[in-house]
Chains A and B, each alone.
Chain A
C-alpha cells in the first residue's frame, strides 16, 4: 500500500478578504477544499483521523501571500494536472492554486527546510526620511525588541531590507527553527504603523532552492 502513496506540494496564493483568516481557519478551509475535490487523502490513524497535510509556514492574519506551500499525502497517485482541475473547481474566492509538484516521499518536511521569507510591504504614506531610517537599521549591530514578553534581537533576522519605488518596502527575513523575523516588527523598528500597511509574502526560501 505504502509504495503507491503520492506526495504533493501545492503552491498557492492568499488574496483579498481571505487574508483575514487565521492559520487554523485557512488550514481547515484547505482540508474542506481537498475533501470536496474528492482527492484520496491519506488520514492519520486513531480516534480522530486527520488528513496528512502540513503548511510550510503559517501566514499571519492580515497578510496576503503568493508563494505559500502545502505538503500533502494521497493514498494513491493522481496526475498533477487532474489535481489542479479538481481543486480549481472547489477554491473559494481569495484562495488561488499556483502549482502542483510531485515530490519524493522521503523528502524532508517543508518546515525543516524553510530558511527565509520575502515580503513586500506597501505603505499608506512614505516618510521622506524612510531610506535613511532603513540605512540606520541596517547599519546597527543589534536591534533589541520585545514581543509577547520575550526579548530578542531583530537585526540578525533581517537578511535584506530596501526601499522600492511606489511606497514599497522589500524585505527578506529569516524564518524557521533558528528564529523568525516578523515584518510588522521591522516596521515598528522603522517607526512605522503596521496597522496601515499591506503586507504581502511573495516567496518562501528553502534550503533546497539552490
Chain B
C-alpha cells in the first residue's frame, strides 16, 4: 500500500530541484511487503539524500536489517527547502523512499548522528513526519525514536527528543534491540505499563542508553553535580558495544541515481586507529583496531563492482597506511583491474614515503591530487597533539610526489590547538612555503598547494575534552596571519566559518539544558545548518540567550579534570585516567607511541569483549 499519492507527488516533483532525491527505486534498494513484515524500521540521516547516501554506517544497518525476513528497513533523508515547502502546502508527511510510507507509521526510526550541525535538521525531520518532538509526549502509537553515530557519545543536548541512543557499533546491537521491540509488540505493547516497560527493558541491553531513565543535577556554577539512574535497569555507565570481529562488508549497497557526495563503492578495510592523535575523537571512540582479512576485502571489491557497476572504490579506514597488508592489497587491486582501470581512493594516508609509494601505484588512474595532514606547523605543537609526522617526512614526501608528476598537493592544518602560539601558526606558513618551493623546482607555476585550515574543536572522550575553543579575537588574528602569509601564487587557503565552529563546539560538549536551545533554534527556522547558504547563526545565539545559556560556557571554558562532564556516564571503553594522563603528557610536549607494537592500557581491552587488536590483515596467529 502506498500512502503517498503518486499523482500528488508528481506534481510536487515537477516543481523542485533534483526530484530524484525523493523517488527511491534505486538499484539494490529493498522493497519488502509492508503488511506482511512484523517490525518496520526507517533509517534516517538528518541531511539531504546525497550526503546520507554516502554514509557507510546506515548502509551496513540497511544490509543487516533487510537480511532478516521478519524485518524491513527503509530510508529517509531531509528534503531540500523547496520540497519542504511543497510538502507543507500539500499537507504531506515526510515519507520513506522504498514504500513511501509516512515516517510515523514505522515501528522504529533510527537516526545517524555524525555532525552537531545536523541536530536542528533531526528535529525538523520528526516534525515533517508529524511526530511529536519530545519522547515524553510520544505514547504507544508513535514509533520508537533512536539514534546512534559519533554524536551519540554525548547525547545529552538531544536527550529529551530520543527514546534511546545506541552507543558504539550499531550492527552489534540492532537485532537485539529490534528483538525487544518485537516481543513488546507481541505482548500487546507492555499492557498498562506501556512504553515505560519497553524503555526499561531496552536499558538492560548493553550499549543502549535511555536518557529518560536518568536524573541530572547541577551545581550553582552550572557544572554537573551528578547523573543518577532512576531505575535499577539503567546502568551507572553505558559502555559502547563493539563487534569482536567486523561483520560482512555490504556488497550490494543501494546505488543512487543522483551523484552522492562520495559516488563510489565503500569498502572498510579496518576500523579503529592506533596513531593516538590527541585531538581525534574517532581515534578514541572506534578503538580497538580491527583489520579485515585481505582475501575478504578482495572478494568484497569483486562482488561490489559486479553488483553496482561502480568505476571507483574507496578503501575506508582512519589510517589506510597502517593496514598491515596495505601494499599487498593495493598491488592486488592494480593487478586485477587493469582494463578498464579501477580508480581506488585511499583516504587518510600517512605522510611518508611508504604512503606515497602506495598512491604511486595508482598513478595514471587518479583524478584528484594528494592529501596530507600535518595538522600543525611546528614540531613542538605536533608533539603536543601526538601527530607523528616530522617536517622532514613532509618535505621528503612532497619532493617525491612532485618529482613523480603530481603538481597539486592538499595540506590539512588546524589552528586553535591547545598551547598554540603565533609562532606555531607562523610555522604553518613557513612549512607550506617550503613545500611550494619544492613544487616550483619541478613544476614552476603549475604548482598548486591547497591549504585547508580547520579550527580545532575539542571533542568528548578525547585527551583534549577539557580544553577551551579558541577565542574569537585570537582566531581572527591567526586567520589574518595565514591570509597574509599565503598571498602567493599557487597557494589557496580555505577555512571554517567561526560561527559554525562555535556552535559545533558548544553542542558537542553540551548538557541536557541545551535541548531547549536546539528546539528553540529549530522553531525559529534553523535547519540544514551544515549548509552555508542555510546557516543563520542568529537563530542559535538568540535561542541561547532566551534559554539563559552562554555558548562560551560550553565551548570556551577551561574545564578541570575533576569536573563531572555531561558525557561521563557514556563510555567508549577508554579510561578517563588514560585521557587525563594523555592530556598531561600533551602539556609537557611528550609524545605517546603508536599502540600497535605495545599496548598502552587505555582500558579498551578490559572494558570490551575484544582480545587485543585484530591485526595482520587477518593472518591468524
**Contacts from A to B (Cβ < 8 Å):** 16-18, 20-22, 24-26, 28-29, 31-36, 38, 41, 43, 47-49, 51, 61-62, 90, 92-94, 195-196
Tell me if B364 and A47 are in contact (CB < 8 A): yes
Given A17-B24, A20-B13, A62-B13, does the pair A28, B259 have CB atoms closer than 8 Å?
A: yes
Chain A residues, Cβ within 8 Å of B258? 25
Tell me if B341 and A20 are in contact (CB < 8 A): no
Tell me if A25 and B14 are in contact (CB < 8 A): no
Given A32-B309, A32-B310, A33-B309, does the pair A20, B27 have CB atoms closer than 8 Å?
A: no
> Which one of B15-23, B168-176, B227-235, B236-244 is at the A interface?
B15-23
Chain B residues, Cβ within 8 Å of A32? 27, 255, 308-310
Q: B259, B306, B367: which contacts A25 (Cβ < 8 A)?
A: B259
Taken together as a complex, chains A and B put the C-alpha atoms of A31 and B258 apart, in Å, by: 13
Chain A residues, Cβ within 8 Å of B310? 32, 35
Chain B residues, Cβ within 8 Å of A49? 340-341
Tell me if B367 and A62 are in contact (CB < 8 A): no
Taken together as a complex, chains A and B put the C-alpha atoms of A41 and B339 apart, in Å, by: 10
How far is the CB of B75 from the nearest CB of chain A, in Å? Answer: 15
14 pairs of residues in contact across A and B, judged by CB atoms under 8 Å: A20-B22, A22-B18, A25-B258, A25-B259, A29-B257, A32-B255, A32-B309, A33-B309, A36-B309, A41-B340, A61-B19, A62-B14, A62-B19, A92-B27
Taken together as a complex, chains A and B put the C-alpha atoms of A195 and B364 apart, in Å, by: 46
Tell me if A25 and B257 are in contact (CB < 8 A): yes
Taken together as a complex, chains A and B put the C-alpha atoms of A17 and B366 apart, in Å, by: 34
**Contacts from B to A (Cβ < 8 Å):** 11, 13-15, 18-20, 22-27, 255, 257-259, 305-311, 339-341, 364-367
Chain B residues, Cβ within 8 Å of A51? 340
* Beyond A25-B20, A35-B310, A92-B25, 6 extra complex contacts between A and B, CB < 8 Å: A26-B257, A32-B255, A36-B306, A36-B307, A61-B19, A62-B14
Taken together as a complex, chains A and B put the C-alpha atoms of A73 and B373 apart, in Å, by: 43
Tell me if B25 and A93 are in contact (CB < 8 A): yes
Q: A20, A35, A93: which contacts B20 (Cβ < 8 A)?
A: A20
Given A32-B255, A196-B11, does the pair A20, B19 have CB atoms closer than 8 Å?
A: yes
Chain A residues, Cβ within 8 Å of B255? 32
Chain B residues, Cβ within 8 Å of A25? 20, 257-259
Taken together as a complex, chains A and B put the C-alpha atoms of A164 and B258 apart, in Å, by: 36
Taken together as a complex, chains A and B put the C-alpha atoms of A20 and B13 apart, in Å, by: 8
**Which residue of A26, A31, A93 has the most chain B CB atoms within 10 A of its CB atom?**
A93
Nearest to B311 among chain A residues (CB) is A35
Taken together as a complex, chains A and B put the C-alpha atoms of A199 and B569 apart, in Å, by: 59
Chain A residues, Cβ within 8 Å of B19? 20, 61-62
Chain A residues, Cβ within 8 Å of B24? 17
How far is the CB of B549 from the nearest CB of chain A, in Å? Answer: 43
Chain A residues, Cβ within 8 Å of B364? 47
Nearest 4 A-B pairs (CB), nearest first? A32-B309, A35-B309, A17-B23, A20-B19
How far is the CB of B40 from the nearest CB of chain A, in Å? Answer: 21
Chain B residues, Cβ within 8 Å of A47? 364-367
Tell me if A48 and B26 are in contact (CB < 8 A): no
How far is the CB of A15 from the nearest CB of chain B, in Å? Answer: 11
Taken together as a complex, chains A and B put the C-alpha atoms of A35 and B312 apart, in Å, by: 12
Chain A residues, Cβ within 8 Å of B27? 32, 90, 92
Tell me if B11 and A18 are in contact (CB < 8 A): no
Chain B residues, Cβ within 8 Å of A93? 25
Q: A41, A92, A195: which contacts B11 (Cβ < 8 A)?
A: A195
Nearest to B13 among chain A residues (CB) is A20
Nearest to B18 among chain A residues (CB) is A22
Chain A residues, Cβ within 8 Å of B339? 43
Tell me if A34 and B367 are in contact (CB < 8 A): no
Chain A residues, Cβ within 8 Å of B259? 24-25, 28
Q: B309, B341, B365: which contacts A34 (Cβ < 8 A)?
A: B309
Tell me if B309 and A31 are in contact (CB < 8 A): yes
Taken together as a complex, chains A and B put the C-alpha atoms of A170 and B418 apart, in Å, by: 71
How far is the CB of A33 from the nearest CB of chain B, in Å? Answer: 7
Chain A residues, Cβ within 8 Å of B367? 47-48
Nearest to A62 among chain B residues (CB) is B14
Taken together as a complex, chains A and B put the C-alpha atoms of A36 and B251 apart, in Å, by: 13
Taken together as a complex, chains A and B put the C-alpha atoms of A31 and B612 apart, in Å, by: 44
Chain B residues, Cβ within 8 Å of A48? 367
How far is the CB of A48 from the nearest CB of chain B, in Å? Answer: 6
Tell me if A43 and B20 are in contact (CB < 8 A): no
Chain A residues, Cβ within 8 Å of B14? 62, 195-196
How far is the CB of A10 from the nearest CB of chain B, in Å? Answer: 16
Taken together as a complex, chains A and B put the C-alpha atoms of A29 and B93 apart, in Å, by: 29
Taken together as a complex, chains A and B put the C-alpha atoms of A21 and B259 apart, in Å, by: 11
Chain B residues, Cβ within 8 Å of A16? 25
Nearest to A17 among chain B residues (CB) is B23
Taken together as a complex, chains A and B put the C-alpha atoms of A51 and B341 apart, in Å, by: 12
How far is the CB of B259 from the nearest CB of chain A, in Å? Answer: 7
How far is the CB of B266 from the nearest CB of chain A, in Å? Answer: 15
Q: A18, A24, A26, A43: which contacts B25 (Cβ < 8 A)?
A: A18
How far is the CB of A167 from the nearest CB of chain B, in Å? Answer: 14
Taken together as a complex, chains A and B put the C-alpha atoms of A24 and B27 apart, in Å, by: 17
Taken together as a complex, chains A and B put the C-alpha atoms of A62 and B310 apart, in Å, by: 26
**Which residue of B11, B15, B309, B340 has the most chain A CB atoms within 10 A of its CB atom?**
B309
Chain B residues, Cβ within 8 Å of A94? 25
How far is the CB of B406 from the nearest CB of chain A, in Å? Answer: 12
Chain A residues, Cβ within 8 Å of B307? 36
Given A25-B257, A34-B309, A47-B365, does the pair A17, B25 have CB atoms closer than 8 Å?
A: yes
Chain A residues, Cβ within 8 Å of B365? 47
Nearest to A193 among chain B residues (CB) is B14
Nearest to B31 among chain A residues (CB) is A93
Taken together as a complex, chains A and B put the C-alpha atoms of A32 and B20 apart, in Å, by: 17
Chain A residues, Cβ within 8 Å of B25? 16-18, 92-94
Nearest to B19 among chain A residues (CB) is A20
How far is the CB of B64 from the nearest CB of chain A, in Å? Answer: 23
Given A29-B257, A43-B340, A47-B365, does the pair A20, B309 have CB atoms closer than 8 Å?
A: no
How far is the CB of B574 from the nearest CB of chain A, in Å? Answer: 42
Nearest to A34 among chain B residues (CB) is B309
How far is the CB of B398 from the nearest CB of chain A, in Å? Answer: 21
